[in-house]
Amino acid sequence: MFYRYIDIEMQLCLLTKDNAPALYELTTRNRAYLRQWLPWVDGIQKPGDTDYFIGACLKRFATGEQMTCGILYQNQLVGVAGFNRYNYSTGTAYIGYWLSRDKSGRGIMTRAVKELEQIAFNEKGMNKIEIHCAVENTRSRRIPLRLGYKEEGQIRGAENLYGRRVNHVIYGLLKEEYLQR
């Protein structure tokens, strides 16, 4: 099973069916908070929906299409981070993340993203990481900015958040920039 020790209080682990009850509870507890920025929240209505989601992620992990990890903080599941997809032709990995509201503001996601960078560049042989954030999602945008990603532009009408169409800002980090950082 994929497991990464980040530091004494934080680890990343591939989500498996064992995590389904805790992930469902976390999603339900943070529903209103996550709904501001994530389009899939209303699709999770019963525990089986989370179970199905994890099963689909595991299949796509096995085929090398994505990697979806749980974030363990003080031995509790507090969020999700990983590669939503890879483009093997360009060597680009696309990071996505979310965290329980009560655990934000502690640098948890910045630490998780740094670990994902190591995996992408040093283990998966990727050449670039992209993070796409809604323009108004300032907390999310602060993560790539803090880590020295370059703003590459915007995609208009990139996402439909329950009828609210938002533009995305794209942040990118090349391997050479990662090595210089």
Ligand X SMILES: CC(C)(COP(=O)(O)OP(=O)(O)OC[C@H]1O[C@@H](n2cnc3c(N)ncnc32)[C@H](O)[C@@H]1OP(=O)(O)O)[C@@H](O)C(=O)NCCC(=O)NCCS
Instruction: Rule CB under 6 A: say whether 78 interacts with ligand X.
Output: no
Record the tokens describing residue 176, joined without a space.
């050479």
Q: Which of 21, 107 has the CB closer to ligand X?
A: 107
Query: Which listed range, 40-48, 50-58, 115-123, 135-143, lies at the site for ligand X (CB under 6 A)?
Result: 135-143
Which of these, 148, 152, 153, 66, lies nearest to 114 by C-alpha position? 148
Record the tokens describing residue 100, joined without a space.
């329980």
**Least distance to ligand X from the beta carbon of 62, Å?**
25
Binding ligand X (rule: CB under 6 A), the pick from 45, 90, 110, 160 is 110
Instruction: Rule CB under 6 A: say whether 34 interacts with ligand X.
Output: yes
Q: Which of 9, 18 has the CB closer to ligand X?
A: 9
- Site residues for ligand X, 46-65, by CB under 6 A, read none
Cβ-contact 40, 23 below 8 angstroms: no
Distance CA 127, CA 64 (A): 16
- Site residues for ligand X, 137-156, by CB under 6 A, read 137, 139-140, 142-143
**Least distance to ligand X from the beta carbon of 30, Å?**
8
Q: How many helices (H) and strands (E) does the chain have?
A: 6, 8
Binding ligand X (rule: CB under 6 A), the pick from 99, 119, 169, 170 is 99
Three-state SS for 38-75 is CCCHHHCCCHHHHHHHHHHHHHHHHCCCCEEEEEEECC
Q: Is 122 helix (H, G, I), strand (E, B) or coil?
A: helix
Query: Which listed range, 44-52, 103-111, 117-125, 170-178, lies at the site for ligand X (CB under 6 A)?
Result: 103-111
Record the tokens describing residue 129, joined without a space.
């990481």
Cβ-contact 67, 14 below 8 angstroms: yes
Q: Which of 97, 178 has the CB closer to ligand X?
A: 97
Chain residues in the site for ligand X (CB under 6 A) = 34, 37-38, 97-99, 104-110, 133, 137, 139-140, 142-143
